[in-house]
Amino acid sequence: MKQRWAALSMALALAIGLTACKSDKPQPQPSAQTTPTAQTAHSAKTELVLAIGGEPETGFDPTTGWGRYGSPLFQSTLLKRDSGMNITNDLATGYEVSADGTVWTVKLRQGAKFSDGKPVTSADVQYTYQAAAASGSSVDLSNVRSVEAPDELTVKFTLKEPQSTFAQMLVSTGIVPKHAHGKEYAMKPIGSGPYKLVQWDRGQQLIVEANENYYGTKPFFQKLTFLFLGEDAAFAAAKAGTVDMAAIPAAFSKQAVSGMELIAARTVDNRGIMFPYVKSGGKTKEGYPIGNDVTADRAIRQAINLALDRKALVQGVLEGHGTPAYTLNDGLPWFNPEAVIPDADMPAAIKLLADNGWHDTDGDGIVEQGGLKAEFSLLYPSSDFTRQSLAIASADMLKPLGIKVQAEGKSWSEIEMLMHANPVLLGWGSHDPLEMYNVYSSKFGGVEYYNPGYYSNSMVEDYMTKALRATGEQEAWSYWKKAQWDGATGLSAKGDAPWTWLVNMDHLYLVKAGLDVGKQKIHPHGHGWPVTDNIEEWRWKS
């Protein structure tokens, strides 16, 4: 079975024409070794050239979303998470939450400066959050009633309602200087982070240098050049030896590159199948169809979850660089391991369908129930090779179950019109448990990409609301876990199964032999540059 999916993945890669596969078949190469001479040369090198992701379209302004999926780089945050996902201090020296959970008081470190030498004060923090709230961007501060600065080193946030996930806002929002935040800020950022911007050539490269005013651990590397290259070009640059680090897709991971080592970062960068949860007949305000009579049946959704072989998908589509996915948040502190199901269990899946009235009465290989055949389209963005591979492989796996799935590539604009009535291969993954609420809450039914299937469960909604209103993370995590599965119901495959989560994709990097990128925390969805979140730890191995 695994060989079958591997062959499918390779055939798809050839069909799409990945440029890296157009060259002659590479000969096996020995693993890169760092000689003493090379190691000495590396140790003296304090500059790196990186091709690790795309260029931020809107620039480097945290008040409009920059840094939410990784280190803001130029700016520092009040709090941060360590490699174990525990909250630690950054600009803050500590914080307190009132008994009712509505007032968060943060104390700032003394002596912190922006890269222009001006001090960081509570007025800058107040301004940052007020500007972010007014920006109308992805920074959701709608629950903040007020931000006050009682003195230069104290900030008081007053919330409309308790919100346990507010800690993540303090983790992910970079602080900007009130005195230098204007229309050009996103292009020429000033911050109190480990680096400062030197040069940005749009569409080509970004050059940064270490911020001499940085209060934290001084980074070893004094200069970083980020090249904005596509996956093919980044891989070619790694082969040519012109970059010290390159992000690559799984399809390139089997090709050894002289002088480079492959590292894989574990992630919650997941891919899964979203199912329309309600029956057909409704329409959105734009007139788009809502509902699907086949996927509205829980037996269909649960059987699909049981039948699919996630390990085979990881091996065949991701070349082994990933893990099976069972929830939106596998491996994070609020993940409930009891939500994990035994997958690749075709006999159990077949029995579940039969017990719920799904039988192949006409011998065409498709089960039906009361004249309704178990068939539907599975949509994926046609520009995404990995999602295409997962969709086609999943469709093939479901044939023995008696479910006919037609994988169809569409543009994102087409998907937006069809996703309320058709299963879609989507992806999420965040360090913020609020994402679970956004994806599964009935309040977000039909809101952008959050809950396009209109999933709704009053018990799950209650657990998630309690999690949000909790006054501490530990208490909140217990409710997030119950929302996934409480022993009787939940949003996971054991319960309502509004999604079939398939895989968590490793983030793969070719790294110059001898370069140590520290202990990486579990990466979120692949926006931004999450690998740089611990940039101060990077150095050459001794």
- Residues 46, 90 share a domain: no
Average pLDDT, the chain: 91
Asked if pLDDT for residue 356 goes beyond 50, the answer is yes
- Considering the domain boundaries, does residue 153 fall inside one? yes
- Residues 331, 279 share a domain: yes
- Residues 179, 115 share a domain: yes
- Residues 296, 176 share a domain: no
Quote the CA–CA distance of 237 and 244 in Å, as a whole number: 9
Structure tokens at 237: 């640059």
Measured between its terminal Cα atoms, the distance across the chain in Å is 43
The CATH code of the domain that includes 250 is 3.40.190.10
Question: What average pLDDT score do residues 396-406 get?
Answer: 98
- Considering the domain boundaries, does residue 176 fall inside one? yes
Q: Which domain holds residue 109?
A: 62-193
pTM over 0.85: yes
pLDDT in tens, 143-180: 999 999 999 999 999 999 999 999 999 999 999 999 99
- How many domains are contained in the chain? 3
Report the relative pairing of strands 47-51 and 223-227 from DSSP bridges. parallel
Quote the CA–CA distance of 1 and 505 in Å, as a whole number: 20
- Considering the domain boundaries, does residue 26 fall inside one? no
- Residues 501, 512 share a domain: no
- Residues 374, 245 share a domain: no
Asked if pLDDT for residue 325 goes beyond 50, the answer is yes
- Considering the domain boundaries, does residue 323 fall inside one? yes
- Considering the domain boundaries, does residue 357 fall inside one? yes
- Considering the domain boundaries, does residue 178 fall inside one? yes
Of 193, 215, 247, which residue constitutes the final position of a domain?
193
Quote the CA–CA distance of 319 and 254 in Å, as a whole number: 8
pLDDT in tens, 441-492: 999 999 999 999 999 999 999 999 999 999 888 899 999 999 999 999 999 9
Q: What angle do CA 510, 513, 517 make, to 5 degrees?
A: 70
The CATH code of the domain that includes 353 is 3.10.105.10
Quote the CA–CA distance of 307 and 384 in Å, as a whole number: 24
- Taking alpha carbons only, the member of 429, 384, 435 closest to residue 525 is 429
- Residues 205, 166 share a domain: no
Quote the CA–CA distance of 235 and 277 in Å, as a whole number: 41
pLDDT in tens, 83-129: 888 899 999 999 999 999 999 999 999 999 999 999 999 999 999 99
- Residues 300, 242 share a domain: no
- Considering the domain boundaries, does residue 1 fall inside one? no
Asked if pLDDT for residue 15 goes beyond 70, the answer is no
- Considering the domain boundaries, does residue 467 fall inside one? yes
Q: How many CA atoms lie within 13 A of 258 on its CB side?
A: 7
Buried b (16+ CB within 10 A) or exposed e, 440-458: bbeebbbeebbbbbbbbbe
Residues 6+ apart with CB under 8 A from 102: 158, 159, 160, 161, 162
**pLDDT the model gives residue 391:** 98
